[in-house]
Amino acid sequence: MISSGRPSPEGLATLIETRASENPSAVFLEDARSDRVVSFGRLAESVEDWSRRLRPGNRHPAAVVVDIDDPLDFAVVHLAVVAAGLRSVPVNPDLGTLDLAKIVGLIDGDTVLITDRDDRAAVGASTVLRLPVDGGAQSDGAAQSDGAAQLPPDRARVARSSGAASAGSALLFTSGSTGTPKGVELSEAQLLFVGRGIAQHNELTEADRGYNSLPLFHVNAEVVGLVATLVAGATLVLDRRFHRTGFWELMRERRITWINAVPAILAVLARGGELELPDTLRFVRSASAPLPDAVRAALGTVPLVVSYGMTEAASQITATPLGGSVPGGSVGVAVGSEIQVRDDAGAVLAPGSVGGLWIRGPGIVTGYFAGAAADRFDDDGWLRTGDLGSIDDSGFVFLSGRSDDVINRGGEKVYPAEVEEVLLGDARVREAVVVGRPDPILHQVPVAYVMTAEGVPDAETGDIVDGLRARCERELPRYKRPVEISVVVDLPRAPTGKIQRSRVREQAASG
């Protein structure tokens, strides 16, 4: 559990000040590929520095767009902006100038862009600040041998942000690949509510050392990684991207106690079979997509936390308990929120029935930025997630896919997750995705794409397809069986590694 005596402050600035006052030289963030660190004292000073810079004379911009490639700089600036009572808009630093200009254009009022790139002058921001600003460093520099950063005596103090408001927020936009980006604004209170819940659920303490290679412009890394670690007074090791080579050596070297991951990362690590995990590792956390049974098995006896979440819920909605029995395939129970399963008419369904998932709670938004998609909210504050699933009698949640992923085959509904579970039952299959392909008679038919496990020779491709067809004939009714099964080298993915089903559907329709 979180250490007794640690307060639960109302605001992010107060939380940062508290951690800095307890031990200003304690390390909050480490760079996985260098000796650079950020202490709690340095983070507190950054809140003060950025507040003065961004709020001159109590004026403040409508938003601060954080466009930074370096993970430590990104984390410090983003947290400092929110703690200073401002709206932070973290974006993918790989965005081109046109996509970045589109996001800037959605914000009314003066916009500050903080970046470490050279080509951002023409994106439409009112002010562009390029790091380092006035030569100021975001980090403390090299870590000492004991893992703590040394601060000069005059800086080992609690930094109080000048005039900081208590209503900071994070505004996150969708990628905009299919139209105008949709914004989700999470208040400071929501970020802290969910971050505290995650820290408590994962039993984080100041002794923990987490590892995160997930993109910091996504809500998972921001809340599960940064905020929960800050709440616990712990340390988070940030990696710019995941590298399979040398991964476990890095975990041992950095004395990692928990890993923040997604199934795609764990599947890559599990390619060689059961893993030789570091003695320091307490648990592995998986989010974003269902975790195949073969990957679960490769993790051995290390506790696994499987979660389900979305940006609109400040990341976590459900999670499996840290230790204890979990029904196979479940993404856990609701943590800090309510969840219902409803039919198309809005009626709540009985346990075990598959329907649309609706959520409500303190960490969940009650509307989108600029009033978009208002039809996803009902009058009682419930949000239609767009996901399909069921809840058993004990409250464990099971996902069946997205509502727009459901395949309508001649009037029969095919839930891709059910078919993918059957395909993943073959040990030679590492990943599987099932989508609907247009059909002139049946409207849609299911087709499957699978990636083989490491070490499976290409010569076995035909045997694998035949085996999967036979498996589907044994375990699925005729209407759920894929009309075509293809073995592929890779699948379209988002920056988190999650398979992009919309692109797979496009490929299926065109080919």
| Angle at CA of residue 149, ends 145 and 152, nearest 5° | 125
Identify the pLDDT of residue 470.
Answer: 96
Q: Of 225, 241, 257, which residue sits at a domain end?
A: 241
Does residue 504 lie within any of the structural domains? yes
Does residue 68 share a domain with residue 20? yes
Give the angle subtended at the CA of 19 by the CAs of 142 and 27, to the nearest 5°: 20
Mean pLDDT by groups of 10 residues along the chain of 511 residues: 42 96 97 96 95 82 96 97 96 89 92 92 91 71 38 31 60 64 91 97 97 95 98 97 93 98 87 84 88 81 92 96 88 95 95 96 93 90 94 94 86 88 91 92 92 87 94 93 95 84 90 72
108 Cβ contact list (under 8 Å, min separation 6) = 62
- Please answer whether residues 448 and 391 qualify as being in contact, where contact means their C-beta atoms are separated by less than 8 angstroms: no
End-of-domain residue from the set 220, 241, 262: 241
Q: Is residue 138 part of a domain?
A: yes
- Number of residues that this document lists for the chain: 511
Query: 511 CB contacts (<8 Å, ≥6 apart)?
Result: none
CB atoms under 10 Å from CB of 153, counted, come to: 7
Q: Tell me the pLDDT tens digit for each residue of 217-258.
A: 999 999 999 999 999 999 999 999 999 999 999 999 999 999
Q: Are residues 315 and 367 in the same domain?
A: yes
| Six token digits for residue 384 | 């239609």
Report d(CA 377, CA 251) in Å as an integer: 42
Confidence (pLDDT) at 142:
52
> Residue 206 has which token pair?
């100041």
Q: How many CB atoms lie within 10 A of CB 460?
A: 13
- Would residue 471 count as lying in a domain? yes
Confirm whether 134 is domain-assigned: yes
Q: Is 43 helix (H, G, I), strand (E, B) or coil?
A: helix
Q: Who's near 260: CB < 8 A, 6+ residues apart?
A: 210, 211, 212, 214, 220, 221, 224, 225, 285, 287
- How many domains, the chain? 3
Q: Are 280 and 255 in contact (CB under 8 A)?
A: yes
**Distance (Å) of CA 213 to CA 15, 230, 262, 366:** 24, 17, 10, 30
Q: Are residues 372 and 395 in the same domain?
A: yes
Instruction: Tell me which long-range contacts 146-155 makes (C-beta under 8 A, separation of at least 24).
Output: 147/27, 147/30, 147/37, 147/235, 148/25, 148/26, 148/27, 148/39, 149/25, 149/27, 149/37, 149/38, 149/39, 149/42, 150/25, 151/24, 151/25, 151/39, 151/41, 151/42, 155/24, 155/41, 155/42, 155/45
Domain range holding 75?
A: 12-241
The predicted structure's pLDDT at residue 141 = 65
Residue 331 falls inside a structural domain:
yes
pLDDT of residue 161: 33
Structural domain ending residue among the three candidates 375, 402, 429: 402
Q: Is residue 273 part of a domain?
A: no
Q: Same domain, yes or no, for 321 and 376?
A: yes
Q: Tell me the CATH number at 477.
A: 3.30.300.30
pLDDT given at position 145: 29
Task: Fill in the amino acid letter for 99.
Answer: D
DSSP string, 271-302: GGSS----TT--EEEE-SSPPPHHHHHHTTTS
Q: What is the pLDDT of residue 67?
A: 96
CATH number at residue 142: 3.40.50.12780
What dihedral do alpha carbons 243, 246, 251, 253 form, nearest 10°? -130
Q: Is residue 126 part of a domain?
A: yes
Do both 33 and 141 map to the same domain?
Answer: yes
Task: Please check whether residues 28 and 101 belong to one and the same domain.
Answer: yes
User: H-type helices in 409-500, by residue range?
Assistant: 416-423, 461-475
pLDDT given at position 495: 77
- CATH classification of the domain holding 309: 2.30.38.10
Contact between 500 and 494 (Cβ < 8 Å): yes
* Core vs surface per residue 395-415: b (16+ CB within 10 A) or e: ebbbbbbbeebbbebeeeebb
Is residue 80 domain-shared with residue 206, that is, in the same domain? yes
Distance CA 415, CA 423 (A): 13
